[in-house]
């Protein structure tokens, strides 16, 4: 994020020093960025493999090709694999978060989806509901790192929005 980009333009130039980086972002260089609670709920392997079932075989085939010939490196394909791996997790995390926080009728059409109508997903949805119960505290902690006076207001707003959505 802070390195010179491919265009080398004014807005892509490297930040000159750590003091300037802190002044621009409000955080130290080694500060970890907070993440949303839904991304911290671990997704079972069984759920991941239900999407893009070809993925493991393709990843294994690339590994064999590279092992046989080191010049067969394919960074674009590795980037695609990283994107697929990310997508498989985020898809279920997002669906579980939506279903856990919204009031949905038991006969709703979305619940008929074969990937969302398994015991593994129902268990994951329960885990997601427990994870999201502390969303207000997580948001307040994230804001407190950057703008401390707003932390309480953000916590109250997130909790109010969660209650409104659940209602």
Checking phi first, is residue 8 left (phi over 0); if not, alpha (psi -120 to 50) or beta?
A: left
Percent of the chain with pLDDT over 90: 1
CA-based R_g, the chain, Å: 21
Q: Which residues contact 73 (CB under 8 A, 6 or more apart)?
A: 66
Cα separation of 129 and 6, whole Å?
Answer: 42
Q: Which residues contact 50 (CB under 8 A, 6 or more apart)?
A: 115, 118
Identify the residue with better confidence: 40 or 55: 55
Overall pTM surpassing 0.85 (yes/no): no
What pLDDT, in 10s, does the model give residues 3-24? 555 555 555 555 567 776 677 7
Res 139 pLDDT > 70:
no
Q: Which residues contact 138 (CB under 8 A, 6 or more apart)?
A: 34, 36, 37
């Amino acid at each position: 994020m802070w390195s010179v980009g491919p265009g080398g333009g004014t807005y892509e130039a490297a930040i000159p020093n750590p003091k300037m980086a802190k002044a621009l972002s409000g955080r130290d260089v080694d500060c970890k960025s907070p993440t949303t609670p839904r991304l911290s709920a671990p997704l079972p392997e069984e759920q991941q493999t239900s999407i893009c079932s070809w993925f493991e075989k393709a990843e294994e085939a690339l590994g064999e090709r590279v092992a046989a010939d080191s010049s067969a490196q394919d960074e674009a394909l590795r980037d695609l694999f990283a994107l697929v791996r990310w997508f498989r997790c985020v898809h279920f995390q997002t669906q579980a978060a939506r279903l856990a926080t919204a009031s949905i009728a038991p006969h709703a059409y979305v619940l008929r989806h074969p990937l969302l109508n398994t015991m593994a997903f129902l268990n994951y949805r329960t885990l997601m509901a427990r994870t999201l119960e502390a969303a207000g505290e997580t948001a307040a902690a994230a804001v407190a790192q950057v703008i401390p006076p707003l932390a309480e207001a953000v916590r109250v707003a997130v909790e109010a929005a969660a209650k409104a959505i659940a209602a």
